[in-house]
Amino acid sequence: MSRTHLQRAAYHLSLPGSLAERHPGDPAAALAELRAITQGEPLASLRGIDMRLELTDEEAGLIAVGDVAALYRRGVHPNVVRNFAGVFGIDYVAAYREAGLRDD
């Protein structure tokens, strides 16, 4: 497991633009497309840019189902979690509350 790769995936999926627009409300499909892009030849040949996404099946599953509380617990920066949630229409405050991360 790598927090770096988990955070990198959540960050790139939360950027406004084509992935989120092509897969509204579907982080699993967006992640599949992101993985295909990052493993493609053009990016692989750019040695100065590290776009590898070495996610475990568990980490990929957290992104696929939009489990923002688990992303937060695994150390993904709160701003990245918030932006990821916003792009995919996930109520992160409710998810945090349900997971016992907020008590208000």
Cα angle for residues 27, 32, 33 (degrees, 5° grid): 100
d(CA 26, CA 7): 18
Q: What b/e sequence results for 38-57 when a residue is b if at least 16 CB atoms lie within 10 Å of its CB, and e otherwise?
A: beeeeeeeeeeeeeebebee
- Has residue 36 been placed in a domain? yes
* 75 within some domain: yes
Structural domain contains residue 40? yes
Using one digit for the tens of pLDDT, what is the confidence trace for 62-99?
Answer: 999 999 999 999 999 999 999 999 999 999 999 999 99
Is residue 103, in this structure, part of any structural domain at all? Answer: no
Please, which pLDDT band fits residue 19 given cuts at 50, 70 and 90?
Answer: confident
What's the first-to-final CA gap in the chain, in angstroms?
A: 32
CATH of the domain at 71: 1.10.700
Q: 48 pLDDT exceeds 70?
A: no
Say if 104 falls within a structural domain: no
> What type of residue sits at position 72?
Y
Distance CA(37)–CA(25), nearest Å, equals: 20
Angle between helices 57-65 and 27-38 (to 10 degrees): 130
20 in any annotated domain: yes
Identify the residue whose tokens are 């993985």.
Answer: 35
Phi and psi at 47, nearest 5°, equal -70, -30
Q: How many domains does the chain have?
A: 1
Domain-embedded: residue 15: yes
> Residue 34: which domain range?
3-98
